[in-house]
Amino acid sequence: MTERIDVEFTADGDVTLRGWLYLPDAKGPRPAITMAHGYGGNREMGLDRYARRFADAGFVVLVHDHRSFGASDGEPRNDVDPWRQIADWRRAISFLEARPEVDADRIGVWGTSFAGGHAMVLGATEVRVKCVVSQVPTISGFEQWQRKVPPERIAAFELAHADDERAQAAGGEPRYQTSIGDDPADPALFSSPDALRFYRDLVPAGHWNNTVTMRSNRASRMYEPGAWIARVAPKPLMMIVETGETVVPADIQLAAFERALSPKELVLLPGGHFDAYNVHFDESSGAALSWFRTHLDPAATATATASATATGS
């Protein structure tokens, strides 16, 4: 039976990051998977189900909250800095590989949404990562911003960011914006039906502050993880794409996948961005598990295949 324990480790700047470590009921050292949540979220938002599925299959799994989100420390709260998150994720890998239950030569990375972009960057730049799964990933902050912000709102958007910068320069606190919602009087970053369903069905009450700093939008608009995708090879890369995307349009993701080099695999699911976590959980988690088994735990894959052949299934 899988055991889940609370863990913490220190990132640069003496910031404590917190997460869950899943220990499978299997003899070690075992292959491992490190996971993180997307933009404005935390580990409570659907990641436990994925981690448990991977751990039940024999993987040690670490899921951490990015700094300033969830249970992790960091100020100001709910502040997104993609390159800081990537640097912190490297520290998570250091924590994971030092565990006696882990085979440090068999570590994979799983990221979703904004962290799906991080997973590609880590795959391209972190020698300790041996296999990558990138689910509904951010590809180009600029392209996504162009698609999302109507032309008539661009000037107001830019002025709001300039005002926020002036306020901080004068000693004020960063301003905040709602993450998910459908109130026209309070425009949210995400207002699609699948986003609202995700918030209603998967987020435990009291486990999420539904805001991000306004300056997070500027940081995400300048983030271009898709530029790294061709450098992931020769590490195996799986991308899981929802074809009805509105957050990261599917054509942007598919164009990035074409730039990736082999070994690679594309999984297409017929839904919106947030449907991967719930509506298509079985498909998205199953595909990722198969990829990790093939590339991190081939002996287990061979055993399972032999067993299925022997039983005629």
Map out the domains of the chain as residue ranges. Answer: 3-149+224-311
What's the pLDDT at 193?
81
Which residue has 């599917």 as its token pair?
A: 250
Given a contact cutoff of 8 angstroms between Cβ atoms, the answer to whether 168 and 174 are in contact is yes
Residue type, 89: W
Contacts of 236 (CB under 8 A, 6+ apart): 131, 132, 263, 264, 265, 291, 294, 295
* pLDDT one-digit tens code per residue, 14-40: 899 999 999 999 988 999 999 999 999
Is cis: bond before 76, omega within 30 of 0?
A: yes
More confident of the two residues 200 and 182: 182
Q: Which of 288, 310, 262, 6 is nearest to 132 (CA)?
A: 288
CATH annotation of 3-149+224-311: 3.40.50.1820
C-alpha distances in angstroms, 105 versus 73, 141, 256?
29, 32, 28
Which residue has 């990829």 as its token pair?
A: 291
> Mean pLDDT across the chain, nearest whole number?
91
Percentage, residues of the chain above pLDDT 90: 73
**What does the DSSP 8-state code read for residue 64?**
E
The DSSP H or E segment spanning 155 is: helix 151-169
How many other β-carbons are positioned within 10 Å of the β-carbon of residue 92?
22
d(CA 7, CA 63): 10
Global pTM?
0.92
Q: How confident is the model at residue 310 (pLDDT cuts 50, 70, 90)?
A: low
* pLDDT one-digit tens code per residue, 71-120: 999 999 999 999 999 999 999 999 999 999 999 999 999 999 999 999 99
